[in-house]
Amino acid sequence: MIIAVDGPAASGKGTIAKALARHYGLPHLDTGLLYRAVALTVRRLELDPAVEADAVAACDFAEDLLADPELRDDAIGQLASIVSAHPLVRAALLQRQKRFARQPGGAVLDGRDIGTVIAPDADAKLFVKATPQVRAQRRHKELRGHGSGLSFDKVLADIRARDARDSSRSAAPLVMAQDAALLDTSFLSIEASVQKAIALVEARR
Ligand code: C5P
């Protein structure tokens, strides 16, 4: 069984995807980490994220980078949304994600284009959303827990900027697949969101 979980930043998609993977005993890939690894490589090599060839050169990152805590930084999320808009960057990361989705026994992948591009034939597709205010509150709390002093207003502005970039790009923009089930987590606890996600998957497979 392939489960595709898409949605904007801090919507709860990562938590839900992880919980679904545990529930069904499937491997899980957070595809945002791949774009974040490209972004971190661009920064470390002092490349220009706006230049497609520079961003493509950074796709050849070392595997152990995927465990680097710096990937979680807000600034790296912003940079990831810049490098991820380049079609050649998306092409460089495509086969790796498709291979993960096609492994025997199935998989859970979360990102922006899983149900539309990576696994259009997924058995269950969820599109997870929440209001920008709720997502900014969650992200603000999480960042504060890691010692970041970013203000709520800055976090909200960053979320809106990332939404706009991810939704308006021409290469694999953030859109809900026609056959996806919508899960709005704005007013749900984590536990309730996970239960609802399992119910939606059960209804679809
Ligand atoms: O999900 P996460 O916030 O870690 O993703 C970071 C950025 O990577 C997103 O803002 C988006 O631009 C990009 N991304 C993408 N396609 C995916 C996953 C992430 O374009 N499948």
Per-residue model confidence as pLDDT tens digits over 152-197: 999 999 999 999 999 999 999 999 999 999 999 999 999 999 999 9
Cα–Cα separations (whole angstroms), residue 170 to 32, 45, 86, 126, 188: 18, 27, 9, 22, 32
pLDDT at 73: 87
Q: Which of 34, 35, 65 to mutate to test the pocket of ligand 1 (most atoms within 8 A of CB)?
A: 35
Q: How confident is the model at residue 149 (pLDDT cuts 50, 70, 90)?
A: confident
Q: Which domains does the chain have, with CATH numbers?
A: 2-204 (3.40.50.300)
Ligand 1 centroid distance, CA of 195 (Å): 25
- What is the spatial distance between Cα 64 and Cα 108, in angstroms, rounded to a whole number? 21
pLDDT at 143: 87
Q: What mean pLDDT do residues 145-156 have?
A: 90
Question: Is 67 within any annotated ligand binding site?
Answer: no
- What is the spatial distance between Cα 24 and Cα 106, in angstroms, rounded to a whole number? 10
Per-residue model confidence as pLDDT tens digits over 34-77: 999 999 999 999 999 999 999 999 999 999 999 999 999 889 99
Phi and psi for 110 in degrees, rounded to 5?
Answer: -125, 150
Q: How confident is the model at residue 205 (pLDDT cuts 50, 70, 90)?
A: confident
Question: ipTM score here?
Answer: 0.97
Per-residue model confidence as pLDDT tens digits over 21-32: 999 999 999 999
Question: Is 58 within any annotated ligand binding site?
Answer: no
Q: Which of 34, 71, 112, 118 to mutate to test the pocket of ligand 1 (most atoms within 8 A of CB)?
A: 112
Per-residue model confidence as pLDDT tens digits over 70-119: 999 889 999 999 999 999 999 999 999 999 999 999 999 999 999 999 99
* Exposed/middle/buried for residue 137 (C-beta within 10 Å: 0-12, 13-18, 19+): middle
Q: Is 77 in the pocket of ligand 1 (CB under 6 A)?
A: yes
Say what the pTM is: 0.95
pLDDT at 74: 86
**Strand ranges inside 60-138, DSSP E:** 107-111, 124-129
